[in-house]
Amino acid sequence: MISKKMKYAIKALVYIAQHSKENSSVKTNDIASKAIIPKKFLEQILLELKKNRIVNSRQGSMGGYYLMKKPNEITLAAIYRLCEGPIALVSCASLNYYEPCSDCVDEATCKIKFALIDIRQKTIANFESITIATLI
Amino acid sequence: MISKKMKYAIKALVYIAQHSKENSSVKTNDIASKAIIPKKFLEQILLELKKNRIVNSRQGSMGGYYLMKKPNEITLAAIYRLCEGPIALVSCASLNYYEPCSDCVDEATCKIKFALIDIRQKTIANFESITIATLI
DNA sequence: TTTAAATCCTACTTATTCTGTAGAATAAGT
DNA sequence: ACTTATTCTACAGAATAAGTAGGATTTAAA
């Protein structure tokens, strides 16, 4: 199960994609009330999405958030990595966040590792097939 | 990422599958020391695997654990559900543990739900393709 | 029948993560 | 200046993770 953070992130991105017209931005307040997300929690999430260049923002009274990428370029995989961490089920099966298992007996012959690398590949493919565009 | 509990469960099941001969059982102590798993934690995990009829046990000095199913009948999906809960990423996309989202705006038209039901199906297929037999 | 060795059971602990809140600083438009 | 937004940092309460502790129970063998 994903965290509420990730669910809110998805809902917020979908909302922004649906409600931003040409050169416009969407306010945190609107997203929070319409998509039913605790506002102060949402602020933090949007800030993190901004740090990762998925959205950008304008401050001030005409401010708000807007997407920095096309909806079909924002994949579930990217959101997952941001909110939940590595997609791999164990660190030794991760490409970007590889770490040996502290309780590993023999990594070279560990069949669990190879099986979970296979799962990771399939999961990434699944997660990349879904984007904000498919959720609008 | 899976919990240590689940990783230990997998390792223990693999160890039992590898080391139980005809009518024999495997001791917690052996599993713990050879597979590098904290013993008291492992006890709890094996107890839970027993409650779920994946393993069975004998008490006493010749006691220990043995598989209740064939290795190829113990799927990653079953172990996951036992250790981590539902496979679905959100409760509203779960079949066995369905619950509506508390923050849902309109479930009937929620595209996130449908996308995550799709992900669930694919994940289940992936998790069922791996069994203890493939990890021996 | 006693004893040793194993599982079984319940409770507790410690650290971390999750899910938010609070409040002030900063920026921009009117 | 004033209003309205984002930005930043800190904090708090609850839940979960990852074990530990200690004894009760069961069984086989001496």
The stretch A60-77 carries a mean pLDDT of: 97
Sketch out chain B's domains with CATH numbers: 4-67 (1.10.10.10), 76-131 (no CATH)
Helix, strand, coil share of chain B (percent; to 5): 55, 10, 35
In B 14-33, which Cβ lie closer than 7 Å to strand C?
A: 27-29
Please tell me which of the candidates B7, B130, B136 has its beta carbon nearest to residue A90. Answer: B7
DSSP 3-state of B20: coil
DSSP 3-state of A63: coil
What pLDDT shows up at residue B22?
77
What does the mean pLDDT of chain A come to? 96
Q: What is the pLDDT of residues A58-67, one digit of tens each?
A: 999 999 999 9
**Nearest nucleotide (CA of B62 to C1'):** D28
What pLDDT shows up at residue A50?
98
The answer to whether A111 contacts B36, with C-beta atoms less than 8 Å apart, is no
Q: Is the pTM of this model over 0.85?
A: yes
In A 91-130, which Cβ lie closer than 7 Å to strand D?
A: none
With tokens 């020391």, the residue in question is B33
The answer to whether A89 contacts B2, with C-beta atoms less than 8 Å apart, is yes
Spatial distance between the Cα atoms of B86 and B80, rounded to a whole number of angstroms: 8
How does pLDDT run along chain B (136 residues), one tens digit per residue?
999 999 999 999 999 999 988 789 999 999 999 999 999 999 999 999 999 999 999 999 899 999 999 999 999 999 999 999 999 999 999 999 999 999 999 999 999 999 999 999 999 999 999 999 999 9
DSSP 3-state of A12: helix
DSSP 3-state of B12: helix
Residue type at position A94:
S
CB distance A77 to A129 below 8 Å: no
With tokens 């096309």, the residue in question is A70
Please tell me which of the candidates B90, B105, B127 has its beta carbon nearest to residue A1. Answer: B90
Q: Which residues of A touch B119 (CB under 8 A)?
A: 76, 126-127, 130
Spatial distance between the Cα atoms of A51 and A40, rounded to a whole number of angstroms: 17
**Nearest nucleotide (CA of A103 to C1'):** D18
Answer yes or no: is B105 CB < 7 A from strand C: no
What b/e string do you get for A23-51 counting C-beta neighbours within 10 Å, with b at 16 or more?
A: eebbebeebbeebebeeeebeebbeebee
The stretch A75-80 carries a mean pLDDT of: 98
Answer yes or no: is A135 CB < 7 A from strand D: no
